[in-house]
Amino acid sequence: METDGLQSRFVELLQKRDIHITENQLNQFETYYRELVVWNANMNLTGITKREEVYIKHFYDSSSLAFFIPFGKISSLADIGSGAGFPGIPLKILYPHIKLVIVDSLNKRIQFLEHLVQALKLSDVNCVHGRAEDIGLLPQYRDSFDLVTARAVARLNILNELCLPFAKVGGFFASMKGADPAEEINEAEFSACQLNSRLFKVSFVELPGDQSKRHLVIYEKLKATPKKYPRKAGIPSKNPLRA
Ligand code: SAM
């Protein structure tokens, strides 16, 4: 495929963050964009369809996790509530060595992701249809992953219960949040503690273009998940953990 101005800018923006991508990876992002737009015509995958916005608000935003987390040291990643694949698929394109598990409760989105994985020729990607509350109980996924991610799935106090069960002891859960996550972080203190983790760091990133502000809220898992978590599907959001 021929490279255009937007792609060159995307490459430069990543280079500035010390991420260097090959022509093949750039082609994978372009194929991702095309598949997303084609499938989005028939199902609700994303409200963002302008090519430039997809590159910045989906691809660059998803990649921003790698500005703060050393992905060379990450070998397994679980992306919970991935929807159309964010942030899991862009991270897998950038770091093909990672074993990626995607969990989403909507089967149509899982079907899109299975198609996408083929179209992008990605290996070691497992797209799992189900609710995080149920999948997080299965021994092959529980307390297993170096890194767990979630973007735009729920408030932090709910997310901690959905996502932290997937992280291994010594692993991390990185939640992608907006301009001001302070209140959510406070609200989630109890759930983090109940799920045997601690707030590790909060990193700030600004998107190029409209300079929208984002935060990555990163928790470290300290001990194995207590048996009682996660609670039954639907309970974490109906009755979020609070002190
Ligand atoms: N992470 C993607 C993004 O940033 O574009 C998708 C966000 S979308 C708003 C939320 C996704 O989370 C949906 O695809 C939904 O099906 C999924 N989801 C919500 N609750 C879930 C749960 N308990 N378990 C698994 N998936 C869930």
Q: What digits encode the pLDDT tens for the residues 218-229?
A: 999 999 999 999
Residue 30 lies in a domain: no
The residue to which tokens 């935003």 are assigned? 61
pLDDT of residue 2: 76
CA 93–ligand 1 middle distance (angstroms): 20
Helices within the chain (DSSP H only): 5-16, 23-40, 51-53, 61-63, 88-94, 107-119, 132-135, 156-163, 182-187, 189-194, 235-238
Using a 6 Å cutoff on CB, does residue 175 contact ligand 1? no
Euclidean distance between CA atoms 29 and 165, whole angstroms: 30
Q: How far is the CA of 155 from the centre of ligand 1 (A)?
A: 12
Domain membership of residue 233 (yes or no) is yes
Give the CATH number of the domain where residue 115 resides: 3.40.50.150
Domains in the chain, number: 1
- pLDDT of 97 above 90: yes
Cα separation, 68 vs 79, whole angstroms: 17
Q: Is residue 23 part of a domain?
A: no
Q: Is the pLDDT of residue 49 over 90?
A: yes
Whether 45 maps to a domain, the answer reads no
What is the predicted pLDDT for the residue at 208?
96
Residue nearest to atom 6 of ligand 1 (CA): 83
Residue 66: DSSP 8-state: G
| 147 lies in some domain | yes
Mean pLDDT calculated for residue range 54-79: 98
Domain hosting 71: range is 67-238
Q: Average per-residue pLDDT in the chain?
A: 97
pLDDT at 238 over 90: yes
Residue 224 lies in a domain: yes
Please enumerate, by residue number, every residue annotated as part of a binding site for S-adenosyl-L-methionine.
Answer: 81, 86, 132-133, 151
List the Cα angle 50/56/15 in 5-degree steps. 140
Residue 48 within a domain:
no
- Check pocket membership of 153 for ligand 1, CB cut-off 6 A: yes
Q: Please indicate, yes or no, if residue 40 is contained in any of the structural domains.
A: no
In tens, the pLDDT along 124-165 reads 999 999 999 999 999 999 999 999 999 999 999 999 999 999
Give the long-range contacts of residues 96-100, CB within 8 A, separation 24 or more. Answer: 96/122, 96/123, 98/71, 98/74, 98/124, 99/75, 99/124, 99/126, 100/76, 100/124, 100/125, 100/126
pLDDT in tens, 182-203: 999 999 999 999 999 999 999 9
Task: Identify the pLDDT of residue 67.
Answer: 98
Ligand 1, atom 4, residue with closest C-alpha: 151
Residue 243's pLDDT is 86
Determine the pLDDT at residue 204: 98
pLDDT tens track for 30-44: 999 999 999 999 999
